[in-house]
Chains A and B, each alone.
Chain A
Amino acid sequence: MPGISYNQMVVDQLGDAELDRLFQAFADSTRRDIMRRVALGEYSVSGLAALYAMSFAAVQKHVAVLERASLVTKEKRGREQIVRGNHEGLEKARRLLDEYEAIWRQRVAQIADILAEE
Chain B
Amino acid sequence: MTVISSTKSTETLSFTLVAEFDADVKRVWQIWEDPRQLERWWGPPTWPATFTKHEFTPGGEASYYMTGPEGEKAGGWWRITSIDAPNRLEFDDGFVDDNGAPVAAMGTTHATVELEDIGGRTRMTVRSMFESEEQMNKMLEMGMEDGMKEAAGQIDALLA
Contact = CB atoms under 8 A, between A and B. Distances in A.
Interface of A: 2-3, 5-7, 10, 16, 19-20, 22-23, 26, 32, 35-36, 90, 93-94, 96-116, 118
Nearest to A18: B133
Given A16-B137, A115-B27, A101 B6 contact: yes
A107 B13 contact: no
Contact of A109 (B2, B28, B145): B2
A86 to B, nearest CB: 13
Of listed A7, A36, A98, A109, residue having the most chain B CB within 10 A? A109
B143 A3 contact: yes
B62 interface: no
Contacts of B15: 97, 100-101, 104
B128 interface: yes
8 contacts: A3-B145, A96-B136, A98-B8, A99-B144, A101-B6, A104-B128, A112-B158, A116-B158
Contacts of A32: 11-12
A2 B8 contact: no
Contacts, number: 130
B10 A93 contact: yes
B142 to A, nearest CB: 9
Interface residues of B, number: 49
B17 interface: yes
Interface in B1-51: 2-3, 6, 8-13, 15, 17, 19, 21-23, 27-28, 31, 37, 40-42, 44-46
A109 B151 contact: yes
